[in-house]
Amino acid sequence: MVSGYRNVLAAPGCARMFATALLARLPQGMSSLAILLLVHSRTGSYAAAGIAVGANAFASAAAAPVLGRLVDALGRRRVLLPAVALQAVALVALVLAADAHAPAVALVPLSAAAGALMPPVAPTVRALMREILHDPGLRETAYSLDSVVQELIWMTGPLLVAVVVTVTSPAVAVLLCAVVWLIGTMLFVASPLLAGPGTRPPGAQRTPALGIPELRALLGPIALTGVGLGAIEVGLPSLALHAGSRPDAGLLLALWSAGSLTGGLWYGSRAWRAPLAHRYRGLLIAGVLCAAPLIFARTIPEGLVCSLLAGLTCAPIFSCQYALIGRAVTPGVETEAFTWVAAALVSGLAAGSAVGGAAIGSLGESAPFILSCAATALAAVAAVRMVARAGAPRLA
């Protein structure tokens, strides 16, 4: 099972790249909770804290393609280092403003600025995989490993913030995000694999990544997948509350991530014969089937089993999406293409969380899970129609 992952990490520079990228991306799993707690502690308003976190997420999604295109055009080091330095300044300014009891109207723009300046480390890693690993099967294993790393970040980040806040304060947690982002990104860009110029060939025409039909075709299914995941993200805590056990909300979310991690490890360890596009559609359908039992879960034991089951297809779906994009993009726009994937996913997650949360009050605790299944089913339908419409031999 581990031989494929061993082969990926044995490629020159890959082990160092994954290790430093893990550190550089760790604050992605920390910042939302840290900013939420900081703004709430200073304003006393969950609404203001939620707006600050939402502004951070949407600004990150909006700015990511711009930063990705700059990486492709100017080079990784020339973009990642200034971005993370300016982001650290924005986070420090956010803490100082919060300590000065600035109103929410001042804190929200600073939170948004920090999100907009988030260095696109994850898209850079995925673009590098396309350059380093020429064997498509090995590259798919690398994408699976990247999905597993992402799950580790989402699992450990909030726990780290909880420990820091318990021992010190939310302000220290936000400052820790800035420090880890800065150090991690500096170590990441110091890798020899990032020494080259931008990925755009000299003299190549500056065609945006959205000019690639296959990428445009996949953004819809990716956003719908995000809606499904965002709905589950708010549905699991609601299930715990309705079952009378608020503390178990964290356990349900942790098991969901554990299921995803397990599924990602299994998916990446196999040698697949089915065409990639067929696998993608199959995984989306499996995602509906795995999430459907949550609709009927009413107790914590039922929720624990169903949460683990619902997570099994998450990382494999991400891995398949990355592989599809990796096969479709043309040289010179790789990083930008992967940032569009992240932007679509983040936008879907935000929409799914908002709609799913709003539906709980009127339709009950099953509503987010119904929304999740419906959105993922639509993603499967869209994948069938849109990929076929794009005429995607490169996606097969």
Instruction: Say what the pLDDT of residue 82 is.
Output: 96
DSSP 54-102: HHHHHHHHHHHHHHHHHHHHH-HHHHHHHHHHHHHHHHHHHHHHHHTT-
Residue type, 149: V
CA–CA separation, 326 and 324 (whole Å): 5
Instruction: Say what the pLDDT of residue 187 is.
Output: 95
What are 32's two structure tokens? Answer: 């939302």
Instruction: Say what the pLDDT of residue 393 is.
Output: 47
**Quick one: 239 exposed, middle or buried, by C-beta within 10 A (0-12, 13-18, 19+)?**
buried
Instruction: Say what the pLDDT of residue 208 is.
Output: 76
Mark 346-367 as b/e (b = at least 16 C-beta within 10 Å): bbbbbbbbbbbbebbeeeebbb
Of 137, 139, 141, the closest CA to residue 267 belongs to 141
Residue 190 CA to its chain's centroid (Å):
24
Residue 238 CA to its chain's centroid (Å):
22
Instruction: Say what the pLDDT of residue 5 is.
Output: 80
Identify the DSSP state of 192. G
Residue type, 350: A
Mark 178-197 as b/e (b = at least 16 C-beta within 10 Å): bebbbebbbebbebebbeee
CA–CA separation, 215 and 105 (whole Å): 37
CA–CA separation, 309 and 236 (whole Å): 13
Domain 12-196: which topology?
Growth Hormone; Chain: A; (1.20.1250)
Instruction: Say what the pLDDT of residue 387 is.
Output: 56
* pTM of the model as a whole: 0.83
Tell me the mean pLDDT per 10 residues along the chain, length 396.
76 88 91 86 81 86 91 89 96 94 91 94 88 82 86 84 88 95 95 68 62 86 93 86 77 88 86 83 94 93 93 92 84 86 88 83 86 95 69 51
What does the chain come to in residues?
A: 396
DSSP 228-294: HHHHHHHHHHHHHHHTT-TTHHHHHHHHHHHHHHHHHHHHHHS---S-HHHHHHHHHHHHHHHHGGG
CA–CA separation, 366 and 6 (whole Å): 41
- The CATH code that applies to domain 208-396 is 1.20.1250.20
Place of tokens 């196999």: 270
Collapsed DSSP state (helix, strand, coil) of residue 28:
helix
DSSP 123-191: HHHHHHHHHH--SHHHHHHHHHHHHHHHHHHHHHHHHHHHHHHHHS-HHHHHHHHHHHHHHHHHHHHTS
CA–CA separation, 9 and 99 (whole Å): 44
CA–CA separation, 312 and 304 (whole Å): 13
Of 68, 118, 355, 121, the closest CA to residue 223 belongs to 355
Kindly list the distances between the CA atom of residue 62 and the CA atoms of 121, 175, 212, 234, in Å, as whole numbers in the listed order: 16, 24, 19, 23
Instruction: Say what the pLDDT of residue 80 is.
Output: 95
Domain definitions of the chain by residue range: 12-196, 208-396
